[in-house]
Every structure is written in structure tokens, then in C-alpha cells.
Amino acid sequence: MNITDVIENFSYLDDWEDRYKYVIELGKELEPMPDALQVDANKVRGCSSQVWLATSVSERDGEAVLHFLGNSDAHIVRGLVCITLAIFNDKTAREIVDLDADAIFQKIQLREHISAQRSNGLNSMLQRIRADAHNLL
């Protein structure tokens, strides 16, 4: 799943009931995260649900490229994880640090339609991803 597809699909859905269903469906498309990675060290702090995020690093043209696996115990949050990973997965550390994810969330009006707790959790995921990328620069 890439973020362009997500944005396009959101544009076809008029009401937020359908968009919530779509977010839940996206969560079912997450790349499977092995149980061995769903450990305390990979927990994202600040989320009301349990969220795990594991980062692996490879190299492309001499630059660090990050790949993320994520999971949650809540269906809607799994969808938010999927959207977040669609934004950041397989990007270089520099691309991640420079990327404005909030502009994407504004485009699909996501923050206005999720609870404050879920928005805080989303911020925690973004901070974790950016910190992982920043540490590689």
C-alpha cells in the first residue's frame, strides 16, 4: 500500500463512517509483524492502545533506508499504523526527516476525525519514526 493510493481512496469516500471502515480495512493489509518483535522494546509509548513498531535498516546508493513493521491490538489503530507506514516505509533517513506527514494527514482530514488519544498516539508513532531516522543521519 502506498500513500498515494490511500489519499485517492479517501477522496472517493464521502462520509466518515465509510472512511473509518476503510481505515479498519487498511489495518488488515499491514505486513505481518512476527510475535518475536512485539516486545516491550518496540512498544510505542503514548498510545492508548498497544502499538508496536520495529525498524530495520538497509542501504540504497550509500544511504540508510528504513523499513518498518507495525501492529496494534485495536483495529482502527492498526489502520492508522498502516497509513503511517505507507507514508514512511522504505524511505531514506533524510527523506523521513524532511517529510511533512501532517500535510498528508490534513489532506485526508484524519486528525479532525480521530479522538485526542488516538491523535496523541499518532504523534508518538511519528516521533518514534523520525527519531529512528534522525539517529541514522
Mean pLDDT of 56-83: 95
Catalytic residue among 47, 54, 77, 126: 47
Judge whether residue 130 has pLDDT over 80: yes
Give the CATH number for residue 61: 3.90.1010.10
Q: Are the C-beta atoms of 66 and 91 separated by less than 8 Å?
A: yes
In the chain, % of residues over pLDDT 70? 100
Judge whether residue 133 has pLDDT over 90: yes
Domain that holds residue 41: 3-136
Is 82 labeled as catalytic in the residue annotation? no
Dist CA 1 CA 58 (whole Å)? 20
Judge whether residue 5 has pLDDT over 90: yes
Element (H, E) at 116: helix 116-136
Total tally of structural domains belonging to the chain: 1
Q: How many CA atoms lie within 13 A of 96 on its CB side?
A: 30
Amino acid at 101: A
